[in-house]
Structure 1
Amino acid sequence: MPVARDVLAQALGPLIVVLGPSGSGKDTLMSHARSVLADDADVLFVRRAITRPADAGSEDHIPMSDAEFDEALDQGQFSLTWAANGLRYGLPRSIEAHLAEGKLAIVNGSRGAWTVIQQVFPSSVAVEIKVEPEILARRLQARGRESASEIEARLARASALTSGFVADAVIDNSGAVERAGSELVAYVTRMIGASSSV
């Protein structure tokens, strides 16, 4: 169950939450967008804290042990935390100041925590990354991080979370990363324009 701080009284800038099943390519697409938008200081690519060791094959996160995560939680370093697939995730408080200045932030989120993310960050919008089930299964197997039973559980969870979820934008990443990455950059750019005109 996600654990949230008090709801932010005012979060002016948009928080783009990239959602989708593990293996859908969220990290790859966000890395593409980060490289394209590297010169835009108004765009914050959020690094999540995760109770998982640093791994070149995974997202650029802040690795923490459970004890370190507990300590950071006790010190109030997170705006929001949740647990999924045996791991714990935390969004840093630095997001709040960035959004309060009317700037845009983008983060790799979780569909299971989406409702609470919306409550904590009222300006959040969801971008869902979709992949054909067969392709998703092959990607999970290729990265070699989970056992066959763990992959099966992830696929079942991905299917269950699809129902009843409505995203603000959907990007199909079943094909070329460049095409899907360009779609994400285009969406972020539109949101930057929309927020600066308010």
Structure 2
Amino acid sequence: MVHAAGSTGVKGDMAGHMVVVVGPSGAGKDTLMAYAASHLNGRQDIAFVRRVITRDGNAGGEDHDAVSEAEFDHMAESGSFAVSWEAHGLRYGIPSRTLMQIANGQLVIANGSRSALPRFKAAFPAMTVINITARPEVLAERLEARGRETREEILGRLERSSPTLDGDYDVVTIDNSGTLEDAGNALVEALSNYLAIA
């Protein structure tokens, strides 16, 4: 279920820490992050990032701040993002306030992208990557259920999706092929390593 690589330790009594959750479409990143947020609700030392995305706010999926391309450009130029990147025809931004949250000692969790990890690492040196995976047949089934792509497009997406992470990162891998409770509890446990005992 869970495989850790690197030196994951307790960070609660130290400066803040960034956790970037990555994984292929259909792996269940948003669902697992929502599960963890509900189980860690009320803690002042943890923050789940609300991303800025050039996607309609009613498009489904994660709860985000929807902006136009022009609005995104303006925000980027004005320094509103700690990290920004493009993927699948959309643009994503992590608000700059996360830098202050880290400085204040909080554990900050963001939905990221494998291609953007070098940018995250540059902005947040104290960083852990949580890699959410699932078996190919599970990914295909979940993507098909969304109804956003044809089966051919889904198979093409899965073929392009690489399960490997390039770079020297502290990585925790969680297999979300089974029940939400199993993978969700594994994520909560992984995040708890970076929280002070309440």
Q: TM-score, normalised by structure 2?
A: 0.86
Residue of structure 2 equivalent to 1:83: 86
Distance in 1, matches of 2:195 and 2:74, equals 35
Residue of structure 2 equivalent to 1:182: 185
By how many angstroms is 1:191 displaced?
A: 1.2
1:47-196 pair list within 5 angstroms? 47-55=50-58, 57-159=60-162, 162=164, 164=166, 168-193=171-196
Partner secondary structure for residue 69 of structure 1: helix
The alignment of Structure 1 onto Structure 2 pairs a total of residues equal to: 184
By how many angstroms is 1:147 displaced?
A: 3.6
Comparing 148-157 with 177-186, which one deviates more in the overlay?
A: 148-157
Distance in 2, matches of 1:70 and 1:93, equals 15
By how many angstroms is 1:104 displaced?
A: 0.6
Q: Which has the higher helix share?
A: 1
By how many angstroms is 1:184 displaced?
A: 0.4
Structure-2 change in CA distance of 1:97 and 1:163 (3 Å):
closer
**1:189 corresponds to which letter in structure 2?**
S
By how many angstroms is 1:81 displaced?
A: 0.7
**2:164 corresponds to which letter in structure 1?**
T
Structure-2 change in CA distance of 1:140 and 1:167 (3 Å):
farther
Structure-2 change in CA distance of 1:163 and 1:125 (3 Å):
closer
Per-residue CA shift, 1:7-49, capped at 9, x if unaligned?
xxxx931101111011100000000011111110111100111
The answer to whether the Cα contact below 8 Å between 2:50 and 2:64 also exists between their aligned partners in 1 is yes
Residue of structure 2 equivalent to 1:30: 33
Higher RCO (CA-CA < 8 Å; seq separation 6+): 2
Comparing 94-103 with 139-148, which one deviates more in the overlay?
A: 139-148
Distance in 2, matches of 1:156 and 1:119, equals 29
The answer to whether the Cα contact below 8 Å between 1:128 and 1:167 also exists between their aligned partners in 2 is no
Distance in 2, matches of 1:152 and 1:65, equals 30
The answer to whether the Cα contact below 8 Å between 1:46 and 1:107 also exists between their aligned partners in 2 is yes
Runs of 4+ in 1 over 6 A off after TM superposition: none
Distance in 1, matches of 2:180 and 2:58, equals 21
By how many angstroms is 1:119 displaced?
A: 1.5
Q: TM-score, normalised by structure 1?
A: 0.86
Distance in 2, matches of 1:56 and 1:50, equals 11
**1:28 corresponds to which letter in structure 2?**
T
Distance in 2, matches of 1:143 and 1:16, equals 27
What stretches of structure 2 of length at least 5 have no aligned partner?
Answer: 1-13
Distance in 2, matches of 1:110 and 1:143, equals 20
Structure-2 change in CA distance of 1:33 and 1:146 (3 Å):
same
Residue of structure 2 equivalent to 1:8: none
Distance in 2, matches of 1:154 and 1:96, equals 33
Distance in 2, matches of 1:65 and 1:128, equals 29
Comparing 143-152 with 130-139, which one deviates more in the overlay?
A: 143-152
